[in-house]
C-alpha cells in the first residue's frame, strides 16, 4: 500500500481545516467588531439631532443584518459539519 498519497491527502485535509478555522475566526471577529460599533452608535444616537439619528439608525440596522447573516453562515456550517461525522 502506498502511504505517500494517503499522507498527502491527510495533509490537504488538515490545511483545509486550518483555513476553515481561520475564516470562522475572522467572521467571529467581524461580528464582535460590529457589536462594538452598534453599541457606540446606539449611545451616540441619544445625543444626536434628527438627521444624525436617522443615519445612525440605518447604520445600526445594516450592521445587525450583517451580524445575522454572518451568524447564520457559522451556524449552518457547524450544523453541516456535525452531520458529516
CA angle 73, 79, 83 (to 5 degrees): 145
C-alpha cell recorded at residue 16: 483545509
46 within a domain of the structure (yes/no): yes
Distances (CA, A) of 81 to 50, 71, 75, 84: 46, 15, 10, 5
42 within a domain of the structure (yes/no): yes
66 within a domain of the structure (yes/no): yes
The CA-based dihedral angle spanning residues 68, 70, 72, 74, taken in that order and rounded to the nearest 10 degrees: -150
Whole domain around residue 38: which residue ranges?
34-70
pLDDT of residue 48: 78
Sequential pLDDT tens for the chain (85 residues): 578 888 999 999 999 999 999 999 999 999 999 999 999 998 888 887 888 889 999 999 999 999 999 999 888 877 766 655 4
53 within a domain of the structure (yes/no): yes
| Residue among 39, 30, 42, 21 at smallest CA distance from 67 | 30
2 within a domain of the structure (yes/no): no
Q: How many domains is the chain built from?
A: 1
39 within a domain of the structure (yes/no): yes
Amino acid at each position: 500500500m502506498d502511504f505517500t498519497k494517503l499522507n498527502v491527502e491527510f495533509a490537504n485535509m488538515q490545511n483545509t481545516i486550518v483555513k476553515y478555522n481561520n475564516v470562522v475566526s475572522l467572521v467571529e471577529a467581524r461580528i464582535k467588531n460590529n457589536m462594538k460599533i452598534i453599541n457606540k452608535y446606539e449611545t451616540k444616537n441619544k445625543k444626536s439631532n434628527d438627521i444624525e439619528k436617522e443615519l445612525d439608525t440605518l447604520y445600526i440596522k445594516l450592521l445587525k443584518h450583517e451580524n445575522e447573516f454572518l451568524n447564520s453562515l457559522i451556524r449552518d456550517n457547524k450544523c453541516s459539519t456535525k452531520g458529516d461525522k
